[in-house]
Structure 1
Amino acid sequence: MRPDEIRDLFDRELREHARPDGPGVRVERAGPVVRQVGGPDDWNGVVWSEPGLGAAGADAAITAQIAYWGGLGHAEFEWKLYSHDGPADLGERLRAGGFSAEPSETLLAAPVEALTALPGAEPPEGVELRPVTDAAGVELMALAHERAFGTDAGRLRHQVLTRLERAPDGFVALVALAGGEPVGSARMELYPGTGFAGLWGGGTVAEWRGRGLYRALVAHRARIAAERGYRFLQVDATDMSAPILVRLGFAALGTTTPYVYRAAR
């Protein structure tokens, strides 16, 4: 399939007909948008808007979503904007409505089969890729995440623990250990009924970068996705990871920018 065909399939299967990304959340069609709604520690936001959304419709939808999440008492929510969404000035309209743009990421996809046998995709010597299946594994994963990205992993802990307790079949979580110390971590979301699995959170601590661990984490998840019948892997990639993924065979489908609305305190 051409990249534009894969993008159209992605829009249809994962955005317009989105599934909840975990237990305790729901997906709703609200007029011209599709949104996910959960608790304060879940991801809350707009995942899709109608392709023909015009200026007046966009402004009305923005106002409606601010009122909706305000009524729930949530401190913040996100409008996940893609570069091919309309109208062309939707980002400017979101900013005018009080949203703040977070760093953009590149939307990438690749056929699963092309990634299952990447050359040099075994973990570096002395590194073990271990599935995360319990609270102890979650702590190791969270520690690797904090060391790799320099951010607090409190929300990650909550989300992975909840998934393990209530919906363990819909995702894969991994931690990379060297001498018992966490040096990397990664997740994969499985979207039943679609052709896609999503790669999330792949991170390596600074002293282990450049040794092939990131590649090994991608290939390991690709093999699991293939075993479960998925056709494509999808990634929202940072500027750091996008060049690596392109070298591994991923194609850019566009960009995505999180626009975050934070309620006044």
Structure 2
Amino acid sequence: MALTPAELLAALHRQVRTGVGEGDPEAVRERVGLIWRTWSTNPADQWAMVESPDGLGDAPDVTIAGERDHFAGLGIPLEWKTYSYDVPADIGGRLVAAGFESGDDEALMLGELADLVDRVPIPEGVSIREVRTLGDLRRIDDLGALVWGAEGHGPRAPVEGADSDPIERRDPHEYAVLAEESPEGPVLCAARVNLTPGTDFAGLWGGNTHPQWRGLGLYRAVLARRAHWALERGARYARVDASPNSEPILARLGLYRVATTTPYHHG
């Protein structure tokens, strides 16, 4: 029996937010009081994320300042990810008052992966394949900068090596795909899916489509490829932090908007 939107959100909260977390082979996750911290152990790619799914207790501003100062002292950029049902309800304003900068809202959408796997026709001459090389990563990075602009895309992570070199560090719980006309041309669409081991959820992340190739089924086809991969590995539910461009597509396919997520950045 399919879960209701409220039941899906409750399952995500229980299994992921207060359970195993997102799952990243180069990250550490720990609980400190009411706070869940996750941070990278890769010195070449330092980041940290904090969230408070169980609230902030009786001294929310003290808790916020403590997390800010902890990661600032380590020199690690921090993202505090909030959900619209988090408490206190004014957590966003408290974070801004503590020196965090608000990012863009996204729609938290949940639903059945099986609803996303229908075969979708794509333009002749376009192929979809797994991301395999460092050159693929650089081309995907170029696509992100094109879609979001240099400022919105953020700093580009350095990728050392020749374009033809294979990606050495592969997370067995991640599958990244791209759409292209040729390996020498631009990436037309790219995205990834991450399983969350120990849960029923797979996160569908990073979907970007070249502005000149929108409306031609590429995002939908890449979505179907990722959903099929996740289903084969035992996941049941899809999780997406959707942009305004992606939300209508996902809603038509049966995913539900169950909350709004907003990131707050410091450092």
TM-score computed with the length of structure 2 as normaliser: 0.87
Q: Tell whether the 8 Å contact from 1:142 to 1:153 is kept in structure 2 after alignment.
A: no
Contact 2:8 2:111 in 1 (8 A): no
The code of the aligned residue for 1:102 comes to G
**Whole-Å Cα distance in 2 between the matches of residues 189 and 260 of structure 1?**
23
Are 1:218 and 2:223 matched, yes or no?
yes
Give the alignment partner of residue 27 of structure 1, picking from 26, 29, 46: 29
- Three-state SS of the structure 1 residue aligned to 2:199 is coil
Cα offset for 1:153? 6.5
In the aligned structure 1, how far is the partner of 2:110 from the partner of 2:47?
22
* SS of alignment partner, residue 157 of structure 2: helix
Contact 2:105 2:262 in 1 (8 A): yes
Indicate conservation of the 8 Å contact 2:112/2:237, yes or no: yes
RMSD: 2.3
- Give the stretch that moved more between structures: 186-195 or 166-175: 166-175
Whether the 8 Å contact between 2:13 and 2:53 is mirrored in structure 1 is: no
Aligned-pair identity (%)? 37
Separation in 1 of the partners of 2:234 and 2:156?
32
Aligned to 1:139: 138
In 2, distance between residues paired with 1:70 and 1:152?
19
Say whether 1:85 aligns with 2:86: yes
Match of 2:113 in 1: 112
- In structure 2, relative to structure 1, the CA distance for the partners of 1:20 and 1:113 (3 Å cut) is closer
In structure 1, the residue matched to 2:260 is 255
Query: As a proportion of its length, which structure holds more helix?
Result: 1
Distance 1:7 1:258 in 2: 19
Give unmatched runs, 5+ long, in structure 2.
Answer: 161-166
- 2:173 matched residue in structure 1: 170
Match of 2:53 among 29, 45, 49: 49
- Look up the SS of the partner of 2:26 in the other structure: coil
Structure 1 residues 66-122: Cα deviation after superposition (integer angstroms, max 9, x where no partner) = 121122122x3111000000011111111111111111100001101111126xx23
Distance 1:157 1:173, change over 3 A: farther
Q: How many residues align?
A: 254
SS of the aligned residue for 1:8 comes to helix
8 Å Cα contact 2:23/2:197 also seen in 1: no
- Displacement of 1:62 in angstroms is 0.3
AA aligned to 1:65 is E
Equivalent residue number for residue 198 of structure 1: 203
Quick one: distance in 1 between partners of 2:168 and 2:30? 24
Q: Which residue of 1 aligns with 2:95?
A: 94
Structure 1 alignment gaps of length 5 or more? 159-163
Instruction: Go from structure 1 to structure 2 and tell me whether the alpha carbon gap of 1:157 and 1:81 turns closer, same or farther (over 3 Å shift).
Output: farther
Residue 164 of structure 2 corresponds to none
Question: Residue 161 of structure 1 aligns with which residue?
Answer: none
Q: Distance in 2 between matches of 1:170 and 1:225?
A: 9
The separation in 2 between residues aligned to 1:42 and 1:11, in whole angstroms, is 26
CA distance in 1, matches of 2:171, 2:247: 28
- Aligned-partner SS, 1:165: coil
Q: Letter of the aligned partner of 1:205 in structure 2?
A: H
Q: For 1:17, what is the secondary structure of its paired residue? A: helix
> How far apart, CA to CA, are the structure 1 residues paired with 2:61 and 2:224?
43
| Partner amino acid, structure 2, of 1:254 | A
Per the alignment, residue 4 of structure 1 pairs with 6
